[in-house]
Amino acid sequence: MLLRLLLCLLLLVSLRATPAAPAPARDRIVVLVTIDGFPAWVWDDPALPMPFLRQLAREGATAQAMKIANPAITWPNHTTLVTGVLPARHGVLFNGMMLRQGPDKPLKLEPWKNKLELVRVPTVYDLAFKAGLKTAHVDWVPTTNAGTFHWEFGERPNPASPIERELLASGQMTEQEVREFNQRNPPWRDVYWTRAGIHIVKQHRPHLLLFHLLNTDAVNHRFGPGNHASLTAYAFADTCLRDLFAAVEAAGFKDKATFVITTDHGFKQAKRIIRPNVAFRQAGWLRTQGPNISACDVVANTLGGSAMIFVPDAGKRAALLPQVKALLAKLEGVERVFEPGEYAALGLPLPEQNNQMGDLFVAAKDGYAFTHYPTGEDVVTDVIADVYPGHHGYLASDPKLDGMLVAWGHGVRRGVQLGTIRNVDVAPTVAALLGLKMENVDGRVLVEALAEGR
């Protein structure tokens, strides 16, 4: 009898000592906002006209800089923000899926592949959905047919989808506006993405909302970052953010709302443009028909400040790649040519791990960017009308590519300076704010930003 009593006491002690699994928080909302193409160096400008975001920063936690991932473009980094892992693991390397067409054909980018085909690991919204929390997104990528959102208004709105139908029924959009959505200008689309976000918050009260503004990226590409046009775009983003915030308060979340405002990448300005496919055509490795590539032994898929180089025919790689590397290394504006043995240090997969990965990865020098055009005779030119001056895609280690982050609200300590963080830290931190835990990630929970007893 005494032995049985002792065993019961030991069991009770062990149960008490075992930490309970995190419980999903059903009384709050976490809004993860990305303002596309928002460098830390622009955030540091005291003349940046974003008074509302400045107010949130004063009342919350702010990063000095956020290191991003290679390739330094939108979809890979949006995926890192919600998975907590680098592209080597999550698998998204382009703004879509790069498909091989044959041993002598250029590769083709397919942006609207299903999320489950693109993303190889769980996301924070998958985790929240499985925990019974209500999830939503506006213009998050890649999310096509994700299956783990209760409500969504995507990059390509569909008049038959539930949120679009609700906006049509309430007179907030017309059928023509939905049909022509992607032909409209970027600030117009940001207005309607914001309107959709406000509607979702007020009508459906999700626990997690992913929200993406795109106009800042478009303006920075067209005019370059940090000038008057660029600053005007950030001011407009501040207005969209303020309106979304007001909707969250109006929905009754005032004391239970958390905003995490961040970005996918920084920005730089180029004055000279490198056209590697012209060099490949001149070397006899690429053929054109009109302005298009008709056949190739070697082809570049460009990413702004970097490029992926492919030899589509595996049987030709051993002979061609040393020649291709030598040619690229001699081009004006090329900083470095990386071979597969160096990819791991960049957070990139080997081609045999992910067939979207190039056989070589090339980085541009400061002031240069790559473009895919295969025609013409000049391999390197000045910036011209059809090649914009603003670019990202440079090596993620470049400080100009660092992003910003501000966290505010429920569960966030006031006045915290975070120093330099990594974008792989965002997903586990968002999960923690929801009372959840992400396993097997490359990042960490930013515990120094979080309040006790949240």
CATH number, domain with residue 297? 3.30.1360.180
Domain end marker among 391, 410, 432 = 391
Judge whether 40 lies within some domain. Answer: yes
Nearest 5 degrees, angle CA 426-CA 430-CA 435? 145
Structural domain that includes position 209? 29-85+121-267+399-449
| Co-location of 277 and 263 in the same domain | no
| Co-location of 67 and 191 in the same domain | yes
Judge whether 19 lies within some domain. Answer: no
| Co-location of 407 and 365 in the same domain | no
Q: What is the CATH number of the domain that holds 38?
A: 3.40.720.10
Going residue by residue through the chain (454 aa), what tens digit of pLDDT does each one get? 443 444 344 333 333 333 345 578 778 999 999 999 999 999 999 999 999 999 999 999 999 999 999 999 999 999 999 999 999 999 999 999 999 999 999 999 999 999 999 999 999 999 999 999 999 999 999 999 999 999 999 999 999 999 999 999 999 999 999 999 999 999 999 999 999 999 999 999 999 999 999 999 999 999 999 999 999 999 999 999 999 999 999 999 979 999 999 999 999 999 999 999 999 999 999 999 999 999 999 999 999 999 999 999 999 999 999 999 999 999 999 999 999 999 999 999 999 999 999 999 999 999 999 999 999 999 999 997 778 899 999 999 999 999 999 999 999 999 999 999 999 999 999 999 999 999 999 999 999 999 986 6
User: What one-character DSSP code corresponds to residue 393?
Assistant: -
| Co-location of 251 and 300 in the same domain | no
Judge whether 355 lies within some domain. Answer: yes
Domain end marker among 391, 424, 441 = 391
Q: How confident is the model over 164-180, as pLDDT tens digits?
A: 999 999 999 999 999 99
| Co-location of 56 and 186 in the same domain | yes
Judge whether 218 lies within some domain. Answer: yes
| Co-location of 387 and 295 in the same domain | yes
| Co-location of 278 and 263 in the same domain | no
Take residue 120 and report the two structure tokens written for it.
């190889």
| Co-location of 134 and 244 in the same domain | yes
Judge whether 12 lies within some domain. Answer: no
| Co-location of 371 and 329 in the same domain | yes
| Co-location of 243 and 287 in the same domain | no
Judge whether 107 lies within some domain. Answer: no
Question: d(Cα 97, Cα 57) in Å, to the nearest integer?
Answer: 36
What is the total count of domains within the chain? Answer: 2
Give 437's contacts (C-beta < 8 A, 6+ positions apart): 21, 22, 428, 431
Q: Number of C-alpha atoms within 13 angstroms, CB side, residue 281?
A: 21
